[in-house]
Structure 1
Amino acid sequence: MTPAARIAAAIDVLSEIEERRRPASDALKEWGISHRFAGSKDRANIASLVYDALRRKSSAAWIMGDATPRAIMLGALRLQRNYTIDQIASLCSGERYAPAPLSESERERLDRPDLSQAPAWIAGDFPEWLEPSLRRAFSGNVAVEMQALDARAPLDLRVNLLKAAGREEAREALSHFGAIDTLISPLGLRIITAEDGRGPAVQTEPAYIKGLIEIQDEGSQLAALLTGAQPGEQVVDLCAGGGGKTLALAAMMENRGQIYASDLDPRRLAPIHARLARAGARNVQVRTPRAGSDVLADLDGRIDLVLVDAPCTGTGTWRRNPDSKWRVRPGSLEIRCREQATVLDRAARLVRPGGRIAYVTCSVLPEENDAAVAGLCEREPYIVALDPAEMVARSGLPLDAGRIRTTNGLQLSPYRTGTDGFYISVLERRSNPA
């Protein structure tokens, strides 16, 4: 397919998403099935165009004065990909499978893509109803913070010290991908994605197959490091899912002590067994939930560290999932907040006096972060949130706590730390009420 035909196809996919309110992944899959002539590179490039347009959906519509799929695509080519008017015009020739030529109005608007008078929710490309929450999180920097979430995410890897001698060994094994050290995590490597938005297939690399590396955003790595997990401790990963942070904790603990990995949804735990074996993590006991039975009941009051990687809206991962930001609704936020309270209350029953709860989300919304922690502290007066600066000091990480601290924790973001938007709070159970 020609570049122009790919743009026309991307506009068709955007129309399908808009008209049928479908997830982008479903619309792209269906397009690929019905257009089997398109090769893998064509499909990847079309997907990249669609996701770039979704990243800049509001701002592209603003500069074009039109919210049609064509207008959003043209605006995104200008804003997200920095195409010149002449480049866009050459792609919109109307010949064969190319989009129709630019109108005079389209040319004028593409010539002056001005967002200076746009409200924050337009300039930052996020749902308008979230602006009050985001202003509480970021104050006057809302548009800047959200624009950083419009960028494509790099491919981050965590070096597994249960298998690798150190970061240098893994970096050298991936030198052909241009892997570089992450700025903050001492275990991280970063690979910049290609123009089509795809990263290399590291899962086929010997370093991955042998367990030297795991795919994990630097923010997620930092969240694990900030828990302060120590060799010999008794740890529960309450929302373990596929096991990304479980593996990180096992490496921190040098395979000493015990990690109990569980999740409310047994289907989410399915990948963890193969990942544990590949990583060489031997101190993990997976406890799959059973209907009508609390598989963690015998651990109540005995645990040194409970990790709560809570279910959340995922607003901090919008650079990886730009489609999801236009599908989040007030009702889904309310559901997530209730779920967070439930898992925090369960964590409170597990942790021993003197033990810790590490509460983590991939969200930038205060309702899911500081408010959730404050709610637990109100319900459990023996549980107190650590001062964020103390949390950073204990970790030894080169983090500017003053820049990223909130009332009860730390808020990472692409703009502040170059990571996904993770929130981390560490709480302690005291012997007496605070």
Structure 2
Amino acid sequence: MGELYNELGKAYSFLTDYREAVSQFTKAISHALDRDGWAKYNVNLAYVYRRMSEFDTSYRYLSLVYEFVEELSPLQQGHLLLNLSAIHGLNGFYEQAIDCARRSLDAYSAANTHHYDARLYGNLGLAYRELGNYDKAERYLEIAMQLSGDRWIGVFPELGFVYLLQGELDKGLACAQRALRIVWSSLISYDKEDLAILCRFLAQIAKQSNKTQLAIRLAEKAQVFYGQIGMWRKWQDLDSEMTDLLQNSPPSNLIDGSALSFSEISTFLNCLDVVNSQEIIHKNISNLLDMRVHYTKLLATALRLSEQDQNDLVLAARFSDYGLTALESEVVLNPHRSPQAFEQYKQHPNLSVLMLRTFNLPERILDIVADHHENYDGTGFPMGKKQGEIHYLARVLAVVDKYVSRVVMDEMRHSEIVKEIVGQSGTVFDPTVVSAFRKLFEIDGMP
């Protein structure tokens, strides 16, 4: 039962329903079967409190686990010390953050896992940056960048801030350029905190290029992301920064922005606006989009899709309902209220494609968006395609979309939704996709 409650806690944490996550992790702790399980659940609970900006509470739970650190497996030691490193850094205890990060790296090495190395080197870089040791900050952030490849977009702006602090404006611009190039490859699949960091860094670049209005737009977007994930201290910091942008005169050390495409930054912002415009349709749409991306990634991995297909699928998952923003809210929220309303609703995939074309997205992504409401037996919309006529990735997205919509919008039980999807295999959904999706929820061979 402990693992079940733990998984539920992780799901609620992903949906930023932190209070419910706290409840589930607390239940997991009470059902722990051994010291490692107890430690894992407490560390997860501490992580949630950290995301809620309740740093003292987070530290209290981590300190409780630390009393038994020598009894833990190397893997759980690594998890504990990783989180202690993060909370020490947030509380301004940078030397302790460095010590915990180093010890976490050693523990993970003993456990023969290096999954978290990039984050730990990033923590080291951030701590040294706050201590004013920019040489070490640069060194460790560069290691983090090399280890993460394109997977951690947040490391580029963090390194860029180090360059700006040292007056190395050209290197700061290069970080901005690289971040923008990478973010287009799998836009909006990144963590919202990382996107907030990127927007904040680009705001600083825009400010030092005397593009105040663009800087304010970027800072506001960063604030939106921080607000959505409950990081209110960061939100307040940005409030102060925007006041500074409005009141202060242009900086004396202006950046020559000719090497950076500000039109590309504007397009990036417009795409973020697409996501946010979908989120205002209903209070739960933000959670729906995040959860849809989450399960899209899981299913894409299970199906062993190529990296390109995974990136395309994530983009389609984020953007596929953009056309709904062009319809009346009554139609969107209750499409079956009349035959006329449903006919309008059925056109939203086509509307999404037309509206997204202005962002020059590849046609292969637009094809997924166009087909994501088609049914395997030809009874879907808008074109009534069937089986192989439907883009394969659209068939993948259709299964995820049904599951997430039922969970988030209809608040149905997980078991009922899976039963419904399995029952529609071969009619509404591609049987091979349904089979892979069902296996996502099997534990030790049991459904």
- Class of the TM-score when normalised by the shorter of the 2 chains: under 0.3
State the structure with bigger RCO (CA 8 A, min sep 6), 1 or 2. Answer: 1
Please give the TM-score of this superposition, normalised by the length of structure 1. Answer: 0.27
More helix by percentage: 2
Please give the TM-score of this superposition, normalised by the length of structure 2. Answer: 0.26
